[in-house]
Amino acid sequence: MINSTQVSHFVLVAFVNVGDFKYLLFIIVISFYILIIFSNLLLIVVICMNRSLHEPMYMFLCSLLFVNELYGSSGLFPFLLTQILSDIHTVSASLCFLQIFCLYSYANVQFSNLAIMSYDRYLAICCPLQYNTRMTPKKVFLFIIVLWFYSCVKCLITLSLNIHLKLCGNIMNSLYCHNYLIVKLSCSDTRVNNIYGLFTAALSILVPLFPIIFSYMKILKICFSGSKQTRQKAVSTCTPHIASLINFSFGCLFQIIQTRFDMTNVPNVIQIILSLYFSLLQPLLNPIMYGLQMSKLRNTYKHLLCYTMLTAHRNTVQVQ
């Protein structure tokens, strides 16, 4: 890999002007990382422990939290924390490409998972009598396997094209490795990379966007013509999903702006915040939004909390 790219390592210059701010940045990032791990794992445990939550919607949510959020966060934050405190901000070519695969597959699976969740909500709200036959456990498992396989294959093809590029530089103005920044460093023909990049970008957006738009058009139609109970069900189950979609879209937009446009006149602190938004707020806010909005999850939280407090009280009484 290194011989083909003629670069053994990359330099991440976004860290150069951080100065003493790095210690505060380290504390902030590691605090959020611990909170991400704890909140996502807690919600996964709650879903796994409660049999009433073993439904398609919660299985897709587990996919979003466990394989997606924890996978994406762990693909970035341990490396990022090391880089923040280090005086030499370099990353090997092999690790750089591995990080690109993790982050890009994370983004692709995230959007595809959200698209399937919107289709699941459409079936539950618009076709409630057919829901159990059209969204079986086998189909849920198949959906999750396909979206991961589809996303990983796209990312592997992208990496295979970039690995063989001849690079004339190794400096990236970024907190972590980006696919497009590597293409910009190339001094060889990148037409195939650019064409495939545009094709996969369109595919990554349009394929998930179609079921999302279709599902919510149908849900809105039912809401306007249905009963008050139907509207309340739609609002309670769709609000966290819509909030997650908007949050994810803003994160992707900030990433595109940073990699495609000149950011030299933007303060370094702002660039760092925009870079962290994509991989920080989505895995942090998702368990909070879903946990607070969905009544079944709230009730399970309460039962677990009451059970824990009751057990602790009994143990205290026995000791006394």
Output the pLDDT for position 301: 57
Output the pLDDT for position 313: 47
User: Residues 217-241: what's their mean pLDDT?
Assistant: 77
CA torsion 234-237-239-245 (nearest 10°) is -110
Output the pLDDT for position 116: 92
What is the CATH number for 234?
A: 1.20.1070.10
User: Residues 81-99: what's their mean pLDDT?
Assistant: 84
Does residue 16 surpass a pLDDT of 90? Answer: no
- pLDDT higher at 176 or 263: 176
Output the pLDDT for position 304: 60
Per-residue pLDDT band for 197 (boundaries 50, 70, 90) equals confident
Query: Taking the model in full, what pTM does it have?
Result: 0.82
Output the pLDDT for position 235: 75
Output the pLDDT for position 257: 78
d(CA 57, CA 4): 45
Residues 41-86: pLDDT tens digits? Answer: 888 888 887 777 788 888 898 888 877 777 888 888 888 888 888 7
Domain range for 219: 2-319
Average pLDDT, the chain: 80
Output the pLDDT for position 232: 75
Per-residue pLDDT band for 238 (boundaries 50, 70, 90) equals confident
- The total of structural domains in the chain comes to 1
Residues 246-294: pLDDT tens digits? Answer: 888 888 887 777 777 776 677 767 777 777 787 788 888 888 777 766 6
How is the chain classified by DSSP, letter by letter? -HHHHT-SEEEEGGGTT-TTHHHHHHHHHHHHHHHHHHHHHHHHHHHHH-GGG-SHHHHHHHIIIIIIIIHHHHTTHHHHHHHHH-SS-EEEHHHHHHHHHHHHHHHHHHHHHHHHHHHHHHHHHH-TTTHHHHS-HHHHHHHHHHHHHHHHHHHHHHHHHHHTPPBS--EESSSS--HHHHHHTB-S--HHHHHHHHHHHHHHHHHHHHHHHHHHHHHHHHHHHS-HHHHHHHHHHHHHHHHHHHHHHHHHHHHHHHHHS--TTS-HHHHHHHHHHHHHHHHHHHHHHHHHH-HHHHHHHHHHHHHHHHHHHHHHHHH-
Per-residue pLDDT band for 302 (boundaries 50, 70, 90) equals low
Per-residue pLDDT band for 314 (boundaries 50, 70, 90) equals low
- pLDDT higher at 300 or 217: 217
Does residue 142 surpass a pLDDT of 90? Answer: yes
